[in-house]
Structure 1
Amino acid sequence: MSEQATDDVEYRVVAEGVRKAFGDNEVLKGVSFTVERGTATAIIGPSGSGKTTLLRTLNALDRADAGVIRVDDVEIDFSTPTPKPEIRRFQSRSGFVFQGHNLFPHKTVLQNVIEGPVIVQKRSRDEAVAEAVVLLDQVGLAEKQDQYPFQLSGGQQQRVGIARALALKPKLVLFDEPTSALDPELVGEVLSVIKDLAVEGWTLVIVTHEIQFARQVSSQVLFTDRGVILEQGTPAEVIGDPKEERTRQFLDRILNPL
């Protein structure tokens, strides 16, 4: 582990040569990219292209087999053994929003949001509650704080998941296809919250199949295919004028369905 380099301090995330395999299936094949502070990066690509695995390596939910990843001021070379305290320190720099909400069903909305700050970060409950109330208001759920997940719509549950991630005060927020489990009429409310976070200057990395949303909210788009980043650039470059034939084929199927 090493501290943040001084020659690339504008970057919140630096990934170099990241590899990950599950058995004989090499899912990531030496992926490298950077994410600037205060920007949103969208990761798009076909199913099975490595998008979610790439996202999970940024929080060590899936530990990379090789490569170097730095998130904020913590850098880990995954080619060498890393002590658990350093992994926890690495993980503490980011918050993760899952596809399926992953809320504790037996806890209220407020209890779900304060769980991380109180149990993991050992912050005072009063402080955590005060901040949670503000966050729930930010995602439009202030009046739902005493309800349980089963009493909420899928979109509301996902917004609680976003508030829960933000409650950890992360340097980076990771979204794994945050609307994929939602009914179509609920998608907009979640995307609206994420757009607001981007405007507020949070550093975001978002795996998404919502191409128009990626075009609107991100400053960088990564197109992954078969374990590599095949194309990366601004939304205008990657979505509006892709250079690779594989990217064009993918976007044509998504944007111009039969």
Structure 2
Amino acid sequence: MTETAEQNPEPRIRVRGLEKSFDDRKVLRGIDFEAARGTSTVVVGPSGSGKTTVLRSLNALDVPDSGVIGIDDVEVDFAALPAGKAGRREAARLRAQSGMVFQSHNLFPHRTVLENVIEGPVVAQRRPREQAVADAKALLEQVGLGERADTYPFQLSGGQQQRVGIARALALEPRVVLFDEPTSALDPELVGEVLAVIKDLAAAGWTTVIVTHEIRFARQVADQVLFLDDGAIVERGSGDQVLADPREERTRRFLRRILNE
């Protein structure tokens, strides 16, 4: 069951002082934000600004150098993260709170759509296969692919494959769903079908964090927008405020360039 921000006013996501470097390049510079349950946070900014690193940090795919990330009752202080197995265990606990939808579909080509969706619940979460199959079929109906359960990824369009990727992330029953440029690898005519599914999830009360360059879509779905540049949050606010009437000149220049392309 999804939740709404009104029912649960406490933040679902808490990020404080996130820092990350790759070699000698500083990628994140003190990222701080919160997101309430049942809300959509959209992260925008130029290439190389740190957007994807923020998302991958929330999922502990990239381990920050320092800072704190909390999702509900699971909180990790990365500056104090122990070495070895204990540290990996803490990162895995945080990773288990979210489902990730990547730019590329990353489906198993030798498995059917249904088999792709049940893989995580059955193998990683040890759920009974019968229950996982029933849940997966319901999710495939939700993303408009109920009739394609027994087909293989190569038989699907790029947009359909991405919708399978969304169903696969939801099958893990995450507290947060993370989208990393979910339409960037799609042909333009297929973008709309994927954005429609994400918009439906947001309307249904899923907590989402979305990295996207689709500015018009971001205005429709975002409860808050974070504009990143050079590893820092330059501006934050509602979709209408940041994307239609930004305060910062750097935000205005970015939007002029994106919207004119």
User: Residue 27 in 1 paired to residue 27 in 2?
Assistant: yes
The one of 150, 156, 162 equivalent to 2:160 is 156
Supply the AA of the counterpart residue of 1:251: L
User: How far apart, CA to CA, are the structure 2 residues paired with 1:195 and 1:73?
Assistant: 27
Superposition pairs of residues 157-196 of structure 1, within 5 angstroms: 157-196=161-200
User: Residue 144 in 1 paired to residue 148 in 2?
Assistant: yes
Task: Tell me the secondary structure at the aligned position of residue 13 of structure 1.
Answer: strand
Q: Calculate the aligned-residue CA RMSD, in Å.
A: 1.0
User: How far apart, CA to CA, are the structure 1 residues paired with 2:248 and 2:9?
Assistant: 31
User: Residue 98 in 1 paired to residue 102 in 2?
Assistant: yes
Residue of structure 1 in register with 2:133 after alignment = 129
Shift of residue 132, structure 1, vs aligned partner: 0.1
- CA offsets per residue over residues 34-85 of structure 1, 9 Å max, x none? 1111000100000000000010000000011100000121000000124222
Supply the AA of the counterpart residue of 1:65: D
Gaps of 5+ in 1: 1-7
Supply the AA of the counterpart residue of 1:106: H
- CA offsets per residue over residues 74-104 of structure 1, 9 Å max, x none? 0000001242222211111100000001111
Superposition pairs of residues 219-234 of structure 1, within 5 angstroms: 219-234=223-238
Shift of residue 9, structure 1, vs aligned partner: 6.1
Length-normalised TM-score, structure 1: 0.95
Shift of residue 237, structure 1, vs aligned partner: 1.1
Q: 1:9 to 1:199 in 2, by over 3 A?
A: closer
Task: Tell me the secondary structure at the aligned position of residue 248 of structure 1.
Answer: helix
- CA offsets per residue over residues 193-252 of structure 1, 9 Å max, x none? 000000100000000000000000111000000000100000111011111110000001
Deviates more, 1:15-24 or 1:75-84: 75-84
Residue of structure 1 in register with 2:207 after alignment = 203
User: How far apart, CA to CA, are the structure 2 residues paired with 1:78 and 1:102?
Assistant: 28
User: How far apart, CA to CA, are the structure 2 residues paired with 1:73 and 1:9?
Assistant: 14
Length-normalised TM-score, structure 2: 0.94
User: Residue 255 in 1 paired to residue 259 in 2?
Assistant: yes
Superposition pairs of residues 99-118 of structure 1, within 5 angstroms: 99-118=103-122
- CA offsets per residue over residues 121-146 of structure 1, 9 Å max, x none? 01000000000000000000011111
Supply the AA of the counterpart residue of 1:35: A
Tell me the percent identity: 65
User: How far apart, CA to CA, are the structure 1 residues paired with 2:9 and 2:249?
Assistant: 34
Aligned pair count reads 250
